[in-house]
Structure 1
Amino acid sequence: MLKQFRNQKRLLSVFLWLVIAAFIGTIFLVWGVGGKNQSSNNYALKVNEYKVSYEEYQNSYQNTTDTLRQLFGNQSGQMPSNEEIQKQVITELKNKYLLLGQAHKLNIPVSDTEVMNELTNISSFLQNGQFSPERYTNVLRANGLTPAAFEQSLKEDIKISKLRNMIRNSTRVTPSEIKKEYTYRNTEAKIRYISFNPSSFKDSVNVKNEDLRTYFVENKENYRAPEEIKLKFIEFAPQDFDIETDITQQEMESYYFQNKSEFSQPEKVRASHILIRVRNFDNETEVKNARNKIENILAQLKKGKDFAEMAKKYSEDASAQNGGDLGYFKKGEMIKEFENTAFSLETGEMSGIVKTVFGFHIIKVTDHQKAKELTFQEAKDSIAEKLKERNAEQYFNDRVFRIYSKILKASNISAYQSKNDNVTVHTTKYFNTYENVYPLKGSPDVKRQLFDLPETEVSNVIDIGDKKYIFEVADRKDSYVPEFSEIEDKVRQDYLQEQSIQKALSYAEKLLKKNKNIENISDSINKNYTTTPFFKRAENIPGVGINSKMTENIFGAKKGSTLDKPYTVNSKVYLVELADIKTPDFPADKDHPDIRNFIANIKSETALNSYISKLESNAEIWIAPSLRGYIGN
């Protein structure tokens, strides 16, 4: 059973993770579109009372495709097909609304606090690492959403997440399952093999021109050149538009009184800590050892040992290198047990042992600042700096958009450049969507927008880092398959390689038919065999490489037997015999948390899929005719 689960997980886990990540990544683009009360019949699918619009479907599909393109890069040929992506997106949307309906039936609660915690951690709404209410409303407005609608959708997302977790947490891992998985992972094999290099068979390959053409026709998509564009762009950097502005007393006072909430300084603490981690509180031995260790550290601290030095020596947190220093933090930024203790201590005071989900801590407060409201005099310098930055940013934006207006009036960058010799226009080389060119490296969404831009049209003003850009597609080369004559040498090379491998395989198969023993085959062709050291399933086969099917058959073979067919690994052909196999002793006194978690993940996903299947069997599901082919209806 675990073997089936394991194979399914290997095939689907990356793809499903990408699809789910795609849904989460565009939550504010997708959520809020589907719903119970859409009056139009123009929807992509209906799950019980929920109607999913084509807009939600298209947004989910587009984002999933973009995510896969980023993952596979130049290996686009390995991407799932459009049909596979569409099928998975439809399945994920269907599952989402099946679970949402069930979560409502079960009255799964979601508090406003939970919504706000989730909201303030969405990266799209952060500015300088902090949640920005202004950015939040601007992003929602740009996507046609109101805060109330978005927060309701987010609440539903949390409901679904809670239901998923309830189902996943309903499974248990048994000792026999752990033992079986441990044995599976740690069994070791040793093989004997004879390798055949296909290059030795190239001279026997008869290459006919008609065969090359047939091979080219059958594999022409492998030779397709991707679409390429060449861009013109103007780059604007803030430092190129520096201005010195005098900030008046009146401006500063006005800002202070209009934004008094900015100058209310909340209570905050600067603390250091020493952490001894506990990864599994159900493991009594681990808990006891950690407790003894933290008690010993506390005893040394009480005798006068330096806290920072003890943290560097013993703490199991990343802050150890800084003497345990965590810097300043406000209420709500630390886990509750830690926060309660830290804020109860005065400057210089040290706690006893504090237990959290991470383990055992000792906390020392190095500064405790009470909440206060800054006076105008205390805030004056920061206000002046903020106003200077605001004025400079406004000036920069005004100058950029003034130039942008002139470019639009001229029709494009090329026309504007012909009338303005002083402007610097940059030109990229021709590039495809998988290549990185300045200034688009690390900006796949911008790159996608530009590939969709018609030739000679001008983009919007686009922010990349702290700079602004205006782009124009100067030229475009469509994707195409080259003529056979243009790539005949490449086709010949690929054909020769493929046919040489086939010749090597045929030769190895003939040898295997005559003799099933590697040593005898070696003698018959006067070619040495190689014996590997022991290796495990998850490891490369020493001197050979990775072929999952070959590895599976090696560990499933009887000692002394030869595998029933040759295998190709890294363009070489191998005949393989299982020389020896070792089964490990199972250390029953250990907890094996990695194995436990692995099995728990598999079983929890299986439980979730089973639960969804049951919901689906009792649901009324309608899929638009244009999409039914992708789901198998």
Structure 2
Amino acid sequence: MAVINTIREKLGVLVLVFIGLAIGAFILADMFGPGSSFNAPDRTVGEIAGQEVSIDEFNLKVEELENQYQMRTGAPITEAQRAAIRNQAWEALIAEKAFRQQFNRLGIVVTDDEIVDMVQGNNISPEIQQAFTNPETGEFDRNQLLSYLQNIKSMPPQQQMQWYMFEQTLRPARARMKYDNLLLKSEYITTAEAQREHNSQNAVAEVRYLYIPYYSIGDSAVQVSDSELSQYLENNKSRYQAEASRSIKYVVFPVQASESDRETFNQELEQLRNDFAAANNDSTFAVRNTEAGPAFARYGLDQLPAQLQSNAGQLQEGQVYGPFDENGSTVLYKVSSITSDTVFRARASHILLRAGEGTTPEQKAEARKRAEGLLSQLRGGADFAQLARENSDDPSASRGGDLGWFAQGRMVEPFENAVFEKNEAGLVNRVVETNYGYHIIQVTEPKTNTVYKIARVQADMTPGDQTRNEAYRRAEIFAAEANGPEDFERLAKEQSLNVQEARGIGQNDRRVDNIFNARQLVMWAFANDTDQGEVSKVFELDDQYVVAVLTGQGKKGTAQLADVRDEVLAQVKNEKKAKQIKDKLASLNGSLDEMAQKYGSDANVYTASDVKPNVYTLSAVGYAPEVVGAAFGLNEGARSKPLETQQGVVIVETVNKTQPAEVADYGSVKEQLLQRRSSRTPYLISEAIKEKAEIEDERYKYF
């Protein structure tokens, strides 16, 4: 019995432990299960003004803008347009969230009464006024608006939704207008500011300056260490701020048609040609079988495709012509019918001797005489194209005077009559005068009113499945064997693959170098679980397979030296060159001309007689605000110390200065300054609020 009691006691403890473990497991499973907040996937696309933006909220805004676009245009949305709409949606969310904070702090509200007033009151929204403008008077028609609003409930659902969406934009738009106007009212121009502006517009200085460009010292004469580059970057952080970026190296496995693919294509093309020839309805056949381009069209001789135009006289109804190569595609043409048009066309060349408006009688007589002389040469057998190139004043001279085909009604009347009165090719046996001057004309193709209905089928040779699979297999083996950057480089070299590098890829970029649809590659590079040195899977991009290795991860903030090395190196070299130049100048004295002579041929002295405070360039130096500012800060006859500019070192000497006379009233200057500032205020407000909102854009995780 004691044994049994002991067993019972221990079993009770075991049962309690088991139950405790089961409850614990249940709780942990609930905490870390798929639906738990502990294990839930990150569904945010960013943060604006401390507020997270979920993927659902973002998609809702995108869908709203897509609906508006389709209602407005009635057209399907392309991928490029969808990408643009996503950007618009993000900007709209920034405006909503970041600006709303500012509105709330300042107590800016838009009441329902204001909305009614904007729709049908005394302060109609400009957008509504534009939509309900009477086309006859060009003025807003209130009755038309009221009729629309009274009948809106009986309108199709799409129109009702369109109006509802428009109404939703009124409140935020009016709030933003109030906010902008509030800040615009705070703009004020002081008299001192107006005086400075008046002086900057009207003061003039004459200066002489000595200029030694940095390029006068070779790069090889300047040694720069990595530590100096790093120090320069550290000292100039504000100039090298960057968004998050990635750098990759990648190899491409192109999918190119094989000889076997070419043979298959040629067989299919021959069958297509036979079917095209036998087709009873050419336009229907072309529409169903062409891969791109116009399937059926009506052409005059001046519009015929080039491959048919040269043999237009031999074209026959029902015949298929081609295949022709057009920009890498293969094209077949079928002449569906040959008919007549009411409009005639012709082709001609001409030699023009200009004698238009502003020409004296003597000059006209001389031009006429020259034209008659050229016509005589042509009657004697001279080459028309050669004479046109040597003598014509028309741009067509470079083409031997050829004007190509043109329809009746396009040329000035005397010229046109001369061409269309001639029924055969050849020289027009007289000089033709127009308001442009004197023309010698040769009809190369006589007038015709023949038109052609042409069916066109374009076929593009594409690699077959076997070719694609082989290219993918090579890429897949490469990706599997490359375990890091060193393997990547080694394998590429062994397989004679060209390793390409792309630096500074942005998180929302859709293109990498010449790969236009590289979004998948960019998303991989920015994924949280992609480590530096990691080799990617195989990406199929733009009909080629790509394998990449992540070589750099730039964080938002100060740029990495590797990403701005070339720019920083140039700046540090220029600083060192400037020091060398200034050290040499410090040992020289005398006038600017004497200093230039002592310095050597790399130093030159220039004069500028019309320097103004608000124009920051000098002809020999380029952009040099330091020099312009110094010139107006010097007394007449004084000389500056050596000044470093973007392009070189300058010493400026002010010869004389002319200050503008004081004006009694600076009102017009104040108004000018105020308008200039006010035009930029809304933009500056937006940029300031965006900066304050500390926006984190993480859309790259999804799109």
| TM-score, normalising length: structure 2 | 0.39
Higher strand share: 2
| TM-score, normalising length: structure 1 | 0.42
Larger radius of gyration: 2
